[in-house]
Amino acid sequence: MQWEVVIGLEVHAQLSTQSKIFSGAATAYGAAPNTQACAVDLALPGVLPVMNKGATERAIKFGLAVGAKINRTSVFARKNYFYPDLPKGYQISQFELPIVEGGSITIQVGDVEKTIRITRAHLEEDAGKSLHEDFHGMTGIDLNRASTPLLEIVSEPDLRGSAEAVAYAKTLHSLVQYLDICDGNMQEGSFRCDANVSVRPLGTDKLGTRCEIKNLNSFRFLERAVEYEVVRQIEIIEAGGKIAQETRLYDSDKDETRSMRSKEEAFDYRYFPDPDLLPMKISEAMIEEIQKTLPELPQAKRGRFMREFGLSSYDANVLTASKAMAAYFEQVVNQAGAANAKSAANWVMGDLAGALKRDNLEIAHSPVSADRLAGLVKRIADNTISSKIAKEVFEAMWQGEGDADAIIEAKGLKQITDTGAIEKIIDGIIAANPDQLAQYRSGKDKLFSFFIGQAMKATQGKANPQQLNDLLKQKLAG
């Protein structure tokens, strides 16, 4: 039987506010345990939550970016359960009336575009952290993360496989960074997702029983977890079994998902409106203000890159995947001219991306600035250097040896474009290799590359390839 995979994702994006969602404590990552937890975060008797306006604004910004409805009144609810790193014994979240409802984002898998519907996005606070190592059989509690603002973005079950799930997560990851509402740092847990996975016979409408896989904090884990889970579910059903609805955990060491708790063991969270926080009212004026701050979004940027710079859909997609890369690319084009956009795109996606990856650097920390790369692109365009020599110049720029012009000058890499000079060199080579010449003239065309190689060697690669090619052909023909 053919199976269809159905996935819905719940993404937790940590909002990039300076202070916590319900207290004034700082949200900065990496502080010593419990140094960024105030009385409110510790849930001392008598303390009360106060909503951080910055978190509300970021949620609205997201809602506007995905074309969702911004609820003018939304309600905070308490999600009650006991856990040592949940200081109040409840998490303040939104349940019946979230701040953002509906909307969608467009993802691209290969050459196919697909719209994924968003069910809702709601504000909530994070819990603290339980530390099980280094405490000699006891558990340490770090409440620095407690009450950190999160936007939980819930998709409809519109994703049909791990590739789409990853594409969706990546698109969302890029979007929240474009919007400057989340730093997107997955290692630090600023962006993580839960996947609801089920399978059904292809062509049927009824959803299969789903399993929720918790806390996937990398795209690779998301991909692996979904793939493992799909195989697991299909095997069970094909063997005549039934899928039990449950919450599962992905173990990246063993590359498998494991049951965490069954539906029967699921908590009754006893949600009810938090009486400490009045229903949150959002004014038209606030929405209008935020609307004005919306940057150009990835999809619009993609379209513009294709239109203005004549880039392919693929190139535009790669270059707009991150806001930083798109900005870098645009700066290169600004300096080098729109006519050189394709060359700029190739350099950004090729040598630059490769070098960044090799040295494990973010584009923001690239040793070669956009302006310097533009300088290089210009020298290729005006035939000062060949593309091949350009790679050498790029590497020198990467090593901090100056800008393209300085390096070309210092290393004498300027291309030889003087026809007379090239002819002279060719004449010398032909004279020195009479046997090869004879063989070539008797029909051994392959020897052409031998002469090219000799000429390049003689000019240290600096001869203009096209000129060299043309002149050599003429001379060899006799």
Partner 1 sequence: MINSSLKQLAAQLAAKKISSRELTQSYLSRIETLNPDLNAFITVDAEKSLMQADAADKLLAAGLGGVLTGIPIAQKDIFCAQGWRTTCGSKMLGNFIAPYDANVIERFNVAGAVNLGKTNMDEFAMGSSNETSHFGKVKNPWDKLAVPGGSSGGSAAAVAARMAPAATGTDTGGSIRQPAALTGITGIKPTYGVVSRYGMIAFASSLDQGGPMAKSAEDCALLLNTMAGFDNRDSTSLDRPVEDYARDLAQPLNGLKIGLPKEYFAEGLAPDVAQTIEAAITEYKKLGAQVVEISLPNTQLSIPVYYVLAPAEASSNLARYDGVRYGYRAPEYKDLTDMYKKTRAQGFGAEVKRRILIGTYVLSAGYYDAYYLKAQKLRRLIAQDFTDAFKLCDVIMGPTTPTTAFNLGEKSDDPVSMYLSDIYTIAVNLAGLPGMSIPVGFGANGRPVGLQIIGNYFGEAKMLNVAHQYQLATDWHQRMPIL
Least Å from the CB of residue 83 to partner 1 = 9
97 contributes a contact to partner 1 by CB under 8 A = no
The pair phi, psi for residue 211, each rounded to 5°, is: -120, 140
Q: Which of 58, 78, 323, 378 binds partner 1 (CB under 8 A)?
A: 78
Which is nearer to partner 1, 24 or 201 (by Cβ)? Answer: 24
Name which of residues 102 to 141 contact partner 1 (CB under 8 A). 139, 141
Strands (E), 127-274: 129-131, 140-142, 149-155, 191-201, 211-216, 246-251, 256-262, 272-273
Q: Which of 3, 29, 95, 272 binds partner 1 (CB under 8 A)?
A: 272
Least Å from the CB of residue 184 to partner 1 = 30
- Kindly report the number of other CB atoms within 10 A of residue 360's CB atom: 7
Least Å from the CB of residue 37 to partner 1 = 10
Q: Which residue stretch of 84-92, 236-244, 286-294, 448-456 sits at the interface with partner 1 (rule: CB under 8 A)?
A: 84-92
Q: Which of 109, 154, 277, 452 binds partner 1 (CB under 8 A)?
A: 277
Least Å from the CB of residue 272 to partner 1 = 6
Least Å from the CB of residue 228 to partner 1 = 30
The string of DSSP codes covering 425-450 is HHHHHHHH-HHHHHHHHTT-GGGHHH
Q: Which residue stretch of 86-94, 157-165, 237-245, 257-265 sits at the interface with partner 1 (rule: CB under 8 A)?
A: 86-94
Across the chain, how many H-helices and E-strands are there?
A: 16, 17
Which is nearer to partner 1, 51 or 452 (by Cβ)? Answer: 51
- Rounded-to-10 torsion of CA 296, 299, 305, 307: -110
Which is nearer to partner 1, 83 or 314 (by Cβ)? Answer: 83
Q: Which of 278, 294, 338, 421 binds partner 1 (CB under 8 A)?
A: 278
Least Å from the CB of residue 125 to partner 1 = 14
Which is nearer to partner 1, 261 or 388 (by Cβ)? Answer: 261
Question: In a 3-state reduction of DSSP, which class is residue 153?
Answer: strand
268 contributes a contact to partner 1 by CB under 8 A = yes
Q: Which residue stretch of 82-90, 116-124, 335-343, 429-437 sits at the interface with partner 1 (rule: CB under 8 A)?
A: 82-90
145 contributes a contact to partner 1 by CB under 8 A = no
Composition of the chain by helix, strand, coil, percent to 5: 40, 20, 35
Q: Which residue stretch of 85-93, 313-321, 326-334, 428-436 sits at the interface with partner 1 (rule: CB under 8 A)?
A: 85-93
Question: How many Å apart are CA 34 and CA 146, to the nearest integer?
Answer: 10
101 contributes a contact to partner 1 by CB under 8 A = no
Stretch 386-405: interaction string toward partner 1, x if CB under 8 A: --------------------
Which is nearer to partner 1, 20 or 302 (by Cβ)? Answer: 20
Least Å from the CB of residue 1 to partner 1 = 36
Question: In a 3-state reduction of DSSP, which class is residue 269?
Answer: coil
Question: How many Å apart are CA 97 and CA 82, to the nearest integer?
Answer: 24
Stretch 41-60: interaction string toward partner 1, x if CB under 8 A: -xxxxxxxxxx---------
270 contributes a contact to partner 1 by CB under 8 A = yes
Structure-block tokens of residue 462: 């600096």
Least Å from the CB of residue 141 to partner 1 = 7
Question: How many Å apart are CA 329 and CA 311, to the nearest integer?
Answer: 12
Q: Which of 8, 87, 149, 208 binds partner 1 (CB under 8 A)?
A: 87
End-to-end CA distance of the chain: 69
Which is nearer to partner 1, 37 or 397 (by Cβ)? Answer: 37
Least Å from the CB of residue 84 to partner 1 = 5
DSSP state of 209: P
Residues touching partner 1: how many (CB under 8 A)? 29
Which is nearer to partner 1, 78 or 323 (by Cβ)? Answer: 78
Question: How many Å apart are CA 405 and CA 409, to the nearest integer?
Answer: 6
Which is nearer to partner 1, 50 or 306 (by Cβ)? Answer: 50
Partners of residue 362 on adjacent β-strands? none
For the purposes of burial, counting CB atoms within 10 Å of the CB of 380, is it exposed (0-12), middle (13-18) or buried (19 or more)? buried
Structure-block tokens of residue 369: 């600035």
Stretch (H or E) spanning 323 = helix 323-336
Q: How far is CA 416 from CA 384, 423, 432, 443, 474, in A?
A: 8, 11, 21, 29, 18
Backbone torsion region of residue 67, taken as left when φ is above 0, otherwise alpha when ψ lies between -120 and 50, otherwise beta: left
Binding residues for partner 1 (CB under 8 A): 39, 42-51, 78, 80, 82, 84, 87-90, 139, 141, 268, 270-272, 275-278
